[in-house]
A and B are shown apart, each in its own frame.
Chain A
């Protein structure tokens, strides 16, 4: 049995609990800030919306055409093929020149980049602030003894700044309590009814790229024609075929 280190009990009340409280509060505050700063729905020209919605309607038709019977199916199929091959629903005239536009002159791209940057800043700033706060006020504190042993590999991380090379790894500094909190606060946020607070902190790495309409994006007429091809190729199977026997089968 090795010697116990006697820690001042005041450390618990003035280091451990404040760090936890601050982290919970900052998480909650951050999620409300994100809600405040997130821009409302952006206004798009109605023709653009009409184009995407028509495309989505065609896709929905393709996905769930089996609720139609044969007559309905055929009339809708003809309608969609006709409209998709005409240019009625295009949002703008198809330009023939193939010179790619500079993506940064497009205002929608800039907006997307801006909102992504805001989200990133809201993720990083509070975390680095808390970390700086912990490092500044509670530097080199041995605040607690962990209830489970760790290998010496954690020494450099959990006891950084502690100039006692032979100290048991179970005695850790304030910054490691910060890390334990960072990982473990998810259930607390869940119980406080704020699912946003944690999900974004830990999901920093999986930021999605904004939809930049760069030179790689396919032209709208190509998409429409592809969709029309797909609709042509649908093998229609109606759910009304043999429905009576199936219903009897289920309920008999």
Chain B
């Protein structure tokens, strides 16, 4: 049998991993928003902080949680961890940024 074996996934664990990742992303985007509000960053600097901070947290997640074998926890590890949520988590970041920016000044 030279045919490539078909991988069968266990759906509840996929959901659970997604939820954990979403949790980390939510906390990250809110905290980064608070941080950049406190530092009163303006325009592109805030977004740069968001992108760098977000990617740094993803790297932390990749190396600590996934233990360098992300393929056994996510179907498309790189895409799911680093790219998929970066835009959809941006509004949360912007909201906290605006709020703390307005409160601090």
User: Is B1 in contact with A184, judged by CB distance below 8 angstroms?
Assistant: no
**B68 interfacial by beta-carbon distance below 8 Å:** no
Given the interface pairs A147-B42, A191-B27, A245-B1, the reply to whether A16 lies near B102 with Cβ below 8 Å is yes
Q: Is A181 an interface residue (CB 8 A)?
A: yes
Cα–Cα distance between A246 and B78 once the two chains are bound (Å): 30
Interface contact B99-A16, CB-CB below 8 Å: yes
Also in contact, A186 and B92, with CB within 8 A (given A144-B98, A144-B102, A147-B98): yes
Beta-carbon contact of B89 and A147 below 8 Å = no
The reply to whether B43 and A147 contact each other, CB–CB distance below 8 Å, is: yes
Given contacts A147-B37, A186-B92, contact A20 B99 (CB under 8 A): yes
Contact B30 A146 (CB under 8 A): no
A-B interface pairs (CB < 8 A), number: 73
Minimum Cβ distance to chain A for residue B51 (Å): 14
Partner of B95, one of A145, A180, A191, A245: A180
The yes or no answer to B76 lying at the interface (CB within 8 A) is: no
A166 vs B25: C-alpha distance in the bound complex, in angstroms? 39
Q: Which residues of the partner chain A approach B27 to less than 8 Å between Cβ atoms? A: 187, 191
- Chain A residues near B89 (CB-CB < 8 A): 187
Complex CA distance for A143 and B88, rounded to whole angstroms = 26
Residues of chain B within 8 A (CB-CB) of A16 are: 99, 102-103
Does chain B have a CB within 8 A of A148?
Answer: yes
| 23 pairs, CB–CB < 8 Å, chain A vs chain B | A12-B102, A12-B103, A16-B102, A20-B99, A143-B102, A144-B98, A147-B40, A147-B43, A147-B101, A148-B43, A148-B47, A149-B43, A181-B95, A183-B95, A184-B91, A184-B92, A184-B94, A187-B89, A188-B30, A190-B26, A191-B23, A245-B1, A250-B5
Task: Give chain A's interface residues, CB within 8 Å of chain B.
Answer: 12, 16, 20, 143-149, 177, 180-181, 183-188, 190-191, 242, 245-246, 249-250
Please give 17 more A-B residue pairs, beta carbons under 8 A apart, in addition to A16-B99, A183-B94, A249-B1.
A12-B102, A20-B99, A144-B101, A147-B37, A147-B42, A147-B46, A148-B44, A177-B98, A180-B91, A183-B91, A184-B94, A185-B95, A187-B29, A190-B26, A191-B23, A242-B1, A246-B1
